[in-house]
Amino acid sequence: MSNDITAIDRHARAAIDAAANPAALETVRVALLGKSGEVTALLKSLGGMDAEARKAFGAAVNALKTGLTDAIEQRRRILDAAALDARLQAERIDITLPARPTPPGSIHPISRTIEELTALFGAMGFGVQDGPDIEDDWYNFGALNIPPHHPARAMMDTFYLKAAGRNRPMVLRTHTSPLQIRTMLSRKPPIRVIVPGRTYRSDHDATHSPMFHQCEGLVIDRGITLAHLKGCLVDFLRAYFEIPDLKARFRASYFPFTEPSMEIDIAWDRKTGTIGAGSDWLEILGSGMVHPNVLANCGIDPREYQGFAFGMGVERITMLKHGIPDLRSFYDSDIRWLSHYGTSPLAPVTLHEGNAP
């Protein structure tokens, strides 16, 4: 019996080494270890032996089976590696060929403007705050000193949501100001952040959309005055529009969450639409000193800390900078429009610092 095992082992290993490809190796494996294979036949013969002979012969057959299985697996790895090398040689790509021309992608104008705002205000030390699009009525209105009778709470202006198990209604945020509240509640002054993001109002025409983008800013610290607000925003406007001597004026206005409140106008030519030229004025953004009630609602003592806030429409300033006439074009997904107004993903944001007033 031992002679049979030795002979099978010898010719089996020779057959394994001679297998030139995975298919030939599989044929050898089946002939040795398959249901009708030579090694399997030896295992089946154990039933006709006495206990002593079965023990010795069974151990030898199992050792033979293990050895041949390992040899087959080792040979398979060698053949697979050789097949992979051959495939790599046959499928080699000539990297010296020019790339196939493909339409270049571009960054959407809104995304690009938000990048610019982040870079410009980042240079002034502002961080960026993000938060939920669905807000509690208190964050969106109440904490901002907006009383229940304020027009912004009207159903025709605001998208309200049914919220099971909540005492307060939920709303798609009408501005990014709720993030100012969340920021003041979550950290102590000094605070200096901008909050760009989507906002929602029930308007739709050439200059309004049910969904649009805002960027608001908030500064809270000791000794903050209107001079800080003016210097910050005039520098921003001159840098964003790339006009170092851009004229700006501050005009008294009203917002529930700031006191005093101001609109900011920039010089422009009504006939040509040119920013920074002519004798006309164009409203560009709203601003003001944070109302003491808002500070108190967030647990900040208005006798110790002061601050200013501002807000602007991202689409609006993008349209002005790039001469885009219709707000709805931003959301039409027209490839031709996006190719014209989009920006290369590889183009860095450049900081065009304006002159201080």
Q: What is the topology classification, in CATH, of domain 109-341?
A: BirA Bifunctional Protein; domain 2 (3.30.930)
The per-residue pLDDT for 353 is 43
Q: Which has more pLDDT, 203 or 260?
A: 260
Least confident of 42-46, 116-120, 204-208, 298-302: 204-208
Q: Which amino acid is at 339?
A: S
Q: Where are the domains of the chain?
A: 2-90, 109-341
The per-residue pLDDT for 163 is 73
Q: Which has more pLDDT, 299 or 152?
A: 299
Contact partners, residue 82, CB within 8 Å, separation at least 6: none
Most confident of 50-54, 155-159, 332-336: 332-336
What is the C-alpha separation between 120 and 243, in angstroms, rounded? 14
What tens digit of pLDDT does each residue of 240-260 get? 999 999 999 999 999 999 999
The per-residue pLDDT for 59 is 83
Does residue 239 surpass a pLDDT of 80?
yes
Least confident of 39-53, 67-81, 246-260: 39-53
What is the C-alpha separation between 87 and 79, in angstroms, rounded? 12
What is the C-alpha separation between 276 and 282, in angstroms, rounded? 10
| Percent of the chain scoring above 90 in pLDDT | 44
pLDDT, mean of residues 58-72: 85
The per-residue pLDDT for 61 is 80
What tens digit of pLDDT does each residue of 93-118 get? 777 877 777 777 889 999 999 999 99
What is the C-alpha separation between 191 and 174, in angstroms, rounded? 23
What is the C-alpha separation between 101 and 175, in angstroms, rounded? 43
Angle between helices 314-322 and 109-123 (to 10 degrees): 100
The per-residue pLDDT for 355 is 37
Q: What is the pTM of this model?
A: 0.66
